[in-house]
Every structure is written in structure tokens, then in C-alpha cells.
């Protein structure tokens, strides 16, 4: 936009009115903090609910049930599901949550048979600490997702209590699957005993199929098998299951996109207001600059650069603060034992900064055009 030799002049103009510049930067930082946080929530919803060609997991749940406390299916359904064509693996899960309502701090226990956990889930995650062997050795052992461990400050060898269940941390895992990041995997029989002593009863079955194109067919066949059974089922893809169970929360998060756009409008208004006031204060100075050989175009570019600088400083401060908050708190939305993660990465930071630069240009361009076109004589008369 301008040559390097003109940057000291731009910085001088920004620092000249420190209070106004600080208020503008602070307002932009708050707006960008909210914008990045909202975008991180939107990304979490998309990651959790948008189907892709790689999705091959079905969730078999009790028909007309939503909360894990009310979904009860017999374990003996397992071999019948396994016999359906296209099914590659079935994992029975008992789910117990510390809070069935929407919350930012929920502990979700998932009880899994030892052999099923070793053959399926353990093969798809990375152990950051502990091991599968340590989990298998103790009946009260739990493997925690990294988000849950970080949020609760738990490490290998700790004991923790939630939902009336006391477990020993035998491992902490890292996974790309959203539902593995905020969960505690324990032994199925242990959870059944600790929860309500209902042996032989599970909350759901997670079914893997050999082809994403077969999800609807396999789901229909599973529900048809148990349509007249003691506990009829409803089977959906995992992401469709999350979208339905957490529908109200997802709708609320979706509404926040309007707040995000409002934050960008606030950035535009704040920067534009600061630049307009700054230009009005410097009309005489612009006349002097023109007499020294500064062209109207150069004066306009200096003003636009000042607007961009204010926006970038505030935007970078707010975006970094939002990312740091998300990283340190490791929060995620949970409802009925399902998690919607909040992710903020460098791509989101780059998007925020690009938008800040564009808004700075838009905010500065009108006063820059006015200043560039104002004759020298008019500048002196305006003083």
C-alpha cells in the first residue's frame, strides 16, 4: 500500500491520540474475540454433524428415547446385528453421564467389553499416556479423552469421581473423532454394576459397515429385525444421531452466526469512526503535506494504512485471546452424553486477520478519498 519510509508517519498518527487509538483497538479486539469464538463453535457443529463419504458408523438406540438414562437395549441383540450383511463390527456401549442436560462440563462414561474395546476403539486412537494393557489389568480402569483429562486436570494414575462412579485413570488418548475427545472408556461390566446393577443391558450399539453407501440399507434392516422385539430400535448414522439428539443446542449455536456478522459490523464502525475523527483533526496537516509534495493519492493511502493498522492490532489481539482461551479451557458443549467440540486453529486465525484487513480498507477508503480530493486552499479554510 505504501513504501516502508512512510510507516513511521503512520505509526506517529496512530500514537498521537493514544486514548482514541486504545479504545478503538480494544473495541475491535472484543469484537474479534467474539467472532473467533463463534466461528470455533460453528466449526465444531460442522465437524460433528456434517456427513462425509468416510462416515461408516451407525448408532442403534432404543426407539423414542433420547437421554442415555432411558435407552435400554438387551446385550443379546449383538449377534443378530453382526449377522446382517455389510456389518464389519459391533460395539455394545453402556453410557452414563454426570449431567443429561446441556452443559460445558459433563463427564461421559462409556462402558465397553474388554475384547471389543481392544479390537475396535483402541486401534483408532493414540495413547498419549498409559496403555491398553494397563486398562485391561484393572476392573475400575478408565481411558480418558484428552479434552476431558485436560479440563479436569487428570493424569495417569489419578482417581476421579463423577456421576457417582469412581474410576482409575489408566490411559489418556488422542483421537480425531469428536466423541472420543470428551469421554471416559471403562469396562462394561464395571459400569453396569456401578450404575444400576442392570447386567446384560446396554444403552446403544455402535455399528461399523463396510461401505458408506450401505448405511441406510443396514440401518433399515437392523430396525426391521427388532421391530417386534421387547425393545424396538431406531438406527441412524452417528452424525445424524448427534444432530437429532443435540438439535436444540445446534440450532442455538447456528443462531450465533448472526452475532458473528454483527461483530464484523462493529469492527467496521469502530475503525471508521476513529479514522473519520482522525482525518477531521488533521485537515491542516494534510494541506502542509501537499505543499511538501505529497500527492492526494499518497495521503489517501496513508489514511487507509492507518485504518488497516488499527484493525490488525485489535483483530490480532482479540483472535489470539480467543484461541488461547479455547486452548486452555478445552471446553466443549455436551448434551445427553454427546459432545460438540470447540476448535480454533491457525486457519481460523488467518481468516479473522484477512477479514480485519478487508474491513480496515473499507473503513478507511471513504475518508481517504475525501482527504485526497480536498484542495489545499479548502484545507486551510477548514481550519
Question: pLDDT for 321-369, tens place per residue?
Answer: 999 988 887 777 777 677 777 878 888 888 888 988 898 888 888 888 8
Q: Please, what is the angle between helix 247-281 and helix 238-245, to 10°?
A: 80
Domain that holds residue 213: 64-231
Q: Judge if 117 and 82 occupy the same domain.
A: yes
Asked if the structure places residue 140 within a domain, the reply is yes
Asked if the structure places residue 116 within a domain, the reply is yes
Q: Judge if 124 and 30 occupy the same domain.
A: no
Q: In this model, does residue 198 exceed pLDDT 80?
A: no
Asked if the structure places residue 194 within a domain, the reply is yes
Average pLDDT over residues 209-234: 90
Q: Judge if 288 and 139 occupy the same domain.
A: no
Asked if the structure places residue 57 within a domain, the reply is no
What CA–CA distance (Å, rounded) separates 369 from 304?
9
Q: Judge if 274 and 358 occupy the same domain.
A: yes
Q: In this model, does residue 371 exceed pLDDT 60?
A: yes
Task: Write down the pLDDT at residue 341.
Answer: 78
Q: In this model, does residue 382 exceed pLDDT 60?
A: no
End-of-domain residue from the set 178, 197, 231: 231
| CA angle (48 as vertex; 226, 318 as ends), nearest 5 | 160
Q: Pairing state of beta strands 165-174 and 141-145?
A: parallel
End-of-domain residue from the set 203, 231, 259: 231
Q: In this model, does residue 246 exceed pLDDT 70?
A: no
Task: Write down the pLDDT at residue 275.
Answer: 83
Q: Judge if 85 and 19 occupy the same domain.
A: no
Asked if the structure places residue 241 within a domain, the reply is no
Q: In this model, does residue 104 exceed pLDDT 70?
A: no
Q: Judge if 166 and 311 occupy the same domain.
A: no
How many domains does the chain divide into? 2
Asked if the structure places residue 59 within a domain, the reply is no
Q: Judge if 86 and 216 occupy the same domain.
A: yes
Amino acid at each position: 500500500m505504501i513504501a516502508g519510509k512512510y510507516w513511521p508517519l503512520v505509526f506517529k498518527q496512530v500514537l498521537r491520540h493514544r486514548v482514541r487509538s486504545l479504545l478503538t483497538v480494544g473495541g475491535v479486539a472484543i469484537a474479534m474475540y467474539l467472532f473467533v469464538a463463534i466461528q470455533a463453535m460453528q466449526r465444531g457443529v460442522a465437524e460433528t454433524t456434517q456427513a462425509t463419504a468416510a462416515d461408516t458408523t451407525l448408532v442403534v438406540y432404543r426407539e423414542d428415547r433420547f437421554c442415555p438414562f432411558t435407552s435400554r437395549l438387551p446385550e443379546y441383540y449383538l449377534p443378530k446385528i453382526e449377522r446382517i450383511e455389510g456389518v464389519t463390527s459391533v460395539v455394545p456401549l453402556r453410557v452414563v453421564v454426570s449431567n443429561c442436560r446441556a452443559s460445558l462440563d459433563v463427564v461421559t462414561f462409556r462402558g465397553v467389553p474388554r475384547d471389543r474395546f481392544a479390537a475396535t476403539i483402541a486401534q483408532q486412537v493414540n495413547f498419549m499416556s498409559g496403555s491398553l494393557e494397563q486398562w485391561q489389568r484393572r476392573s475400575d480402569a478408565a481411558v480418558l479423552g484428552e479434552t476431558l483429562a485436560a479440563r479436569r486436570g487428570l493424569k495417569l494414575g489419578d482417581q476421579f469421581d463423577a456421576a457417582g462412579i469412581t474410576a482409575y485413570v489408566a490411559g489418556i488418548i488422542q483421537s480425531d473423532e469428536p466423541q472420543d475427545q470428551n469421554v471416559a472408556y471403562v469396562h462394561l461390566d464395571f459400569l453396569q454394576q456401578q450404575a444400576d446393577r442392570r447386567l446384560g443391558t446396554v444403552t446403544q450399539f455402535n455399528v461399523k459397515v463396510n461401505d458408506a453407501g450401505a448405511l441406510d440399507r443396514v440401518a433399515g434392516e437392523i430396525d426391521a429385525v427388532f421391530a417386534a422385539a421387547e425393545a424396538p430400535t431406531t438406527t441412524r448414522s452417528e452424525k445424524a444421531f448427534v444432530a437429532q439428539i443435540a438439535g436444540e443446542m445446534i440450532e442455538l449455536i447456528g443462531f450465533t452466526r448472526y452475532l458473528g456478522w454483527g461483530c464484523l459490523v462493529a469492527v467496521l464502525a469502530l475503525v471508521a469512526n476513529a479514522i473519520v475523527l482522525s482525518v477531521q483533526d488533521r485537515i491542516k496537516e494534510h494541506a502542509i503535506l501537499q505543499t511538501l509534495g505529497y500527492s492526494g493519492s499518497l495521503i489517501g493511502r496513508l489514511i487507509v494504512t492507518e485504518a488497516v493498522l488499527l484493525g490488525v492490532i485489535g483483530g490480532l489481539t482479540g483472535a489470539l485471546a480467543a484461541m488461547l482461551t479455547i486452548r486452555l479451557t478445552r471446553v466443549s458443549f455436551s448434551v445427553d452424553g454427546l459432545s460438540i467440540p470447540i476448535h480454533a486453529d491457525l486457519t481460523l486465525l488467518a481468516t479473522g486477520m484477512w477479514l480485519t484487513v478487508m474491513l480496515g480498507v473499507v473503513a478507511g477508503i471513504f475518508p481517504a478519498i475525501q482527504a485526497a480530493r480536498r484542495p489545499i486552499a479548502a484545507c486551510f479554510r477548514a481550519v
